[in-house]
Amino acid sequence: MGEAAVRLLDIAGSRNLRDLGGYRVADGRTVRRGMLLRGGHPAGLTEKGIAQVAALGLGAIIDLRTTEERAGHPWPAELVDGLRYWTRDYDLSRGDLVAMLRDPATGPEDIRLRMLQSYRLIADEQRGGIGAMFDLLRDQRTPLLINCTAGKDRTGVVCAILLIALGVPIESVRADYALTETFQDPGSPLFHVDPDGPFAYLLAVDPEVWRTMMRSAPDYIDATFAALAEKYGSPEAYLRAEQGLDEAALAALRDRLLEP
């Protein structure tokens, strides 16, 4: 894995937990290591893993999961007590995706097209989390961890927007998004599925359909960039229009999170 392997944090039982530090921007500075982390759900954390996460000294967690997702796999109380834990109660606009997964006639290409459509919406759907992220960073609540369930779709888009705000080149942003597929098999289950639970339908999903949905294909994140470009002109213009990040605010953010 080379340089990519440095990003993956060796935390017992963690899912796709990695460091956004080390990316170089145009002026030669790099993103500080250990300040910006991204990952998936905490359900697999062992006692050792919980202690390892505690040792990171987190200042805040932004949990992008839905109410139902958090209820099923909550963060251990000892990890969120005493820090800023941001989340919100909502349901994903994914009814048709669930219906597609339940339908045995659904094929990989059907899911791929649905994923492209979903990625065009994520930045708008997660506007609150993105705003909270920049607020916490202004308050210097670092290290900051951003997570969802897989640490891929919602987390991938939010972290892509963060890296763009820091001035990381788009090629590096795309590469960071794609790393999920390097660190975890897209065919692997997200979590243990209870055959009598609300996610039991996942047990019958065609493995190739599941693999297509769980890939971190560059064209997925490109769909997000395309949607932002169509609506705002560019991702940077989105930052100004929706997050109030003008040049002065971006410069201050970069001074806090970049190093020579």
Write out pLDDT tens, residues 108-121: 999 999 999 999 99
Read off the CATH number of the domain in which 205 is found.
3.90.190.10
Percentage of the chain modeled with pLDDT above 70: 96
pLDDT score of 93: 61
Distance (Å, whole) CA 36 – CA 96: 33
Q: What is the pTM of this model?
A: 0.94
Longest dimension (CA), the chain: 54
Q: Which residue from 204, 189, 172 is spatially nearest to 24, judged by alpha carbons?
A: 172
- Give the number of residues written for the chain: 260
Domain count, the chain: 1
Q: Which residue from 167, 159, 168, 166 is spatially nearest to 221, judged by alpha carbons?
A: 159
Kindly report the backbone phi and psi dihedral angles of residue 30, in degrees, each rounded to the nearest multiple of 5, phi listed first: -130, 155
Task: Tell me which residue range forms the domain holding 90.
Answer: 3-259
Consecutive sets of 10 residues in the chain, 260 residues long: mean pLDDT of each?
75 96 97 98 96 98 95 94 94 74 93 95 96 97 96 97 98 96 81 72 86 94 97 95 96 98
Q: Which residue from 56, 107, 109, 65 is spatially nearest to 83, judged by alpha carbons?
A: 56
pLDDT score of 56: 97
Instruction: Give the CA angle between residues 95, 99, 100 to the nearest 5°.
Output: 115
Q: At what angle do helices 170-183 and 154-165 cross, to 10 degrees?
A: 150
Q: Which residue from 137, 71, 228 is spatially nearest to 146, judged by alpha carbons?
A: 137
pLDDT score of 21: 98
Distance (Å, whole) CA 155 – CA 144: 13
